[in-house]
């Protein structure tokens, strides 16, 4: 507090540190961090599973994205809270390492935080909770190894395309796949069933003339950077044409230049011309009449800068060239591309490790039963954290049941009882109302390494959040 005077000599008091923000410490900081993490998980919870709801995301420039992909939702969300950013990084790590399960890992972390909050209210130290979670995660990961099975092939058409694409670029000796060698392209229009695998490249361009052929077998391709037009002198000049004869002479000169360019392409054996630049209308007309298909405004590839350098050795080879066009919804294509990306990642993970666990929450329920049974072996306070971990595993199955319009508690209890009674870890939530909850019969499965990574990543992030007991902002320095 300080005493000061105004211009009239009247005293007034200055209160220092007025309206200073309260700094969060101890249990209050931990609860605030847990609340932030739970808020992010709550957003994604309704998007989990095949019947999960979509989110509509609007960017600052007005673009709208509709998706239920967890990584895409969190990537486009404007998040300020640092703990919420940790959850975004959690989803991004799952997407980078595995490529699938980005929603499930955040929902799992949110459930662990919710259970940890209850344990904190009961007076259990956060370090003991973190240690109990670590023990439980090891039990769950080992149990997943126990219930996993090997798989050799997949039957569904879209999955078949993904598997074939991955196998075509896979390094089977190193058991690794570089997904950068696979490009997923979307063409507006058509149906999902029109998806096909191309062993080659696709160029999103039209033919330069509508009457040019749409398919070419055994194509020999000339890739040019020089435009199909008369040369332009570097100096400024004017051409005065005052008679019809002069105009005809100019036209004939241009015609001869175009004829020479087209004939040069024909002489070297090219059956398809791809040009980085545009075509003059006259050149385009000649190309069509000389039966030489062409595509313009294409960038990249091994190119020829001048017609004088065009030789048969510089032509590309292609078994076939097919031009296709379609009309339709771009937003749907983007969502399908995200689904194909997930399928490609699953196929890549199966190359790395061909073990699977069954989906529909069956793996989480089986792990929950195993973790709950193992908790009795730990006499310390960690036992409470281990049991809480088992309850968090159940929350994933509860979310699946809720999103599918089922009674969550009744459904979970019935499936859990069935797994214990028949000693079968394949029973899960019948989200698609097929009539059986045996995920093996429904062919619903997830990769082993993907599910293990979900549990390990979620546990590590929750442990990190629990160990934060002080939130210091830059103004506190």
Element holding 219 (H helix, E strand): strand 215-224
To the nearest 10°, report the CA torsion of 74, 76, 78, 79: 20
For the question of residue 103 being annotated catalytic, the response is yes
- In angstroms, the CA 368 to CA 214 distance is 57
Active site residue 69: yes
Distance CA 39, CA 30 (A): 14
Catalytic position from the list 67, 69, 72, 100:
69
Q: Which of 155, 158, 153 is nearest to 339 (CA)?
A: 158
The kind and range of the H/E element at 343 are: helix 330-352
**Residue 64's beta-bridge partner residues?**
58
- 149-150 sheet: strands from edge to edge: 149-150, 355-358, 445-447
Sign, Cα dihedral of 298, 302, 308, 311: negative
Catalytic: which of 102, 411, 447, 459?
102
Tokens of 419: 């797994």
Say whether 228 sits in a helix, a strand or coil.
strand
Q: What distance in Å separates the CA atoms of residue 265 and residue 222, rounded to the nearest whole number? A: 7
**Structure token digits, residue 84:** 């919420």
Annotate 375-414 with DSSP letters as a single string.
GGG--STHHHHHHHHHHHHHHHHHHHHHHTTS-HHHHHHH
Is 102 assigned a catalytic role? yes
Can you tell me the distance from the alpha carbon of 139 to that of 383, in angstroms, rounded to the nearest whole number?
13
The one catalytic residue among 95, 100, 342, 394: 342
Q: How far apart are CA 271 and CA 315, in angstroms?
A: 10
Q: What is the b/e burial string over 370-383, where b = at least 16 CB atoms within 10 angstroms of the residue's CB?
A: bbbebbeebeebbb
DSSP 8-class letter at 53: P
Q: Report the C-alpha gap between 149 and 90 in whole angstroms.
A: 27
Q: Measure the CA–CA gap between 51 and 401, rounded to whole angstroms.
A: 9
Active site residues: 69, 102-103, 342
């Amino acid at each position: 507090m300080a005493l000061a005077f105004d211009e009239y000599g009247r005293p007034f008091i200055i209160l220092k540190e007025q309206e200073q923000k309260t700094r969060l410490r101890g249990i209050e900081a931990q609860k605030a961090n847990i609340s932030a993490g739970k808020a992010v998980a709550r957003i994604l919870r309704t998007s989990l599973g095949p019947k999960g709801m979509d989110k509509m995301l609007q960017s600052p420039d007005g673009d709208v994205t509709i998706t239920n992909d967890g990584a895409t939702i969190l990537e486009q969300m404007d998040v300020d809270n640092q703990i919420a950013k940790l959850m975004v990084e959690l989803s991004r790590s799952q997407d980078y390492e595995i490529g699938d399960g980005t929603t499930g890992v955040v929902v799992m972390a949110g459930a662990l935080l919710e259970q940890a909050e209850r344990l904190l209210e009961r007076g259990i130290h956060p370090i003991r909770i973190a240690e109990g979670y670590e023990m439980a995660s090891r039990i769950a990961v080992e149990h997943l190894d126990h219930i996993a099975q090997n798989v050799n092939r997949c039957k569904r058409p879209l999955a078949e395309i993904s598997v074939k694409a991955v196998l075509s670029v896979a390094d089977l000796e190193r058991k690794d796949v570089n997904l950068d060698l696979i490009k997923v392209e979307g063409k507006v229009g058509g149906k999902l069933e029109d998806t096909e695998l191309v062993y080659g490249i696709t160029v999103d361009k039209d033919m330069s003339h509508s009457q040019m052929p749409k398919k070419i077998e055994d194509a020999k391709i000339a890739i040019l950077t020089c435009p199909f037009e008369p040369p332009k002198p570097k100096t400024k000049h004017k051409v005065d044409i005052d008679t019809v004869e002069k105009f005809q002479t100019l036209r004939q000169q241009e015609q001869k230049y175009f004829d020479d360019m087209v004939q040069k392409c024909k002489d070297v054996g090219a059956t398809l011309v791809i040009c980085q630049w545009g075509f003059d209308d006259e050149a385009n007309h000649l190309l069509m009449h000389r039966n030489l298909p062409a595509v313009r405004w294409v960038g990249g590839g091994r190119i020829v800068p001048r017609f004088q350098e065009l030789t048969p050795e510089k032509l590309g080879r292609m078994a076939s060239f097919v031009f296709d066009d379609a009309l339709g919804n771009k937003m749907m294509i983007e969502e399908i591309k995200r689904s194909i990306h997930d399928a490609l990642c699953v196929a890549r993970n199966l190359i790395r490790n061909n073990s699977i666990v069954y989906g529909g929450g069956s793996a989480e329920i089986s792990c929950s039963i195993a973790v709950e049974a193992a908790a009795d072996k730990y006499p310390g306070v960690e036992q409470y954290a281990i049991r809480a971990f088992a309850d968090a595993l159940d929350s994933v199955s509860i979310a699946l049941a809720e999103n599918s319009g089922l009674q969550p508690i009744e459904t979970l209890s019935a499936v859990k009882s069935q797994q214990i009674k028949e000693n079968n870890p394949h029973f899960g939530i019948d989200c698609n109302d097929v009539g059986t909850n045996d995920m093996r019969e429904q062919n619903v499965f997830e990769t082993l390494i993907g599910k293990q990574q979900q549990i390990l990543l979620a546990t590590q992030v929750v442990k990190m959040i629990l160990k934060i007991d002080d939130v210091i902002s830059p103004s506190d320095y």
